[in-house]
Structure 1
Amino acid sequence: MAGHARSWGEMRARNIYGNSIEIGNLDVDAYSLGAYWTHSWEDEAYFDAIVMHSWLRIDTESVADYSSCLHGMNGWSLEADKKFSISEKWVIEPQAQIYWQYQQPIFRHHWSVV
């Protein structure tokens, strides 16, 4: 699986007088690549594995000279499911999932970088 996303915008807020004022800008750009694998058993149980990497960049900038930047994202997910019949009409289907992701945030002000 692969994808691309692009977004940008202007952030506005209302002050105590009800006026709409510009407070900053937002820019998002991402390219993603991932893989998906499923294994099913005859008893209708299954196991899913997903891994994805995004070349992600999110930039924000405020009129107060604060900015932030988020780079990259890695993630994976594992999921398992098994059906149990409790009667002819009712089935219980418990599921379990583990999900992990990593992002690298950078916050900037005119005198420091965190």
Structure 2
Amino acid sequence: MMAEFKDLKRRFVHRVQRNVVNPLGRRGPGVLLETIGRKSGLPRRTAVGGKVIDGQFWMVSEHGEHSDYVYNIKANPRVRVRIGGQWRTGTAHLLPDDDPWQRMRSLPRFNNLGVRTMGTDLLTIRVDLD
């Protein structure tokens, strides 16, 4: 029963993000994560929340291994992150052993609210910036 609910929630949130949140986020001044599409080979940009700490960009994926950008990172970990209007390149690392709830304590609160509300399978991601 719980797995069914998580799957339904994930599909609903994914649809809202793809059709509303990401188009608006790509136009705004917020943080963007650019991956290379695993099938298309084209750049894919996703609005994300996170923070640079000691030369690394930290974020939490609300759908973990089920996020399209996580699939893309698995295929090619080289990414770009737009922070404060500046693009930076780096290598993304999926950290399934990191506690995402603890990690969010050091990340922006507003984004964490969305991750906590909409998330189903949280996953910490670290981008080692070049």
Give the structure-2-normalised TM-score. Answer: 0.21
Richer in helix (by share): 2
Tell which has more relative contact order, 1 or 2 (C-alpha 8 A, sep 6+). 2
Larger Cα-atom Rg: 1
Give the structure-1-normalised TM-score. Answer: 0.22
Richer in strand (by share): 1
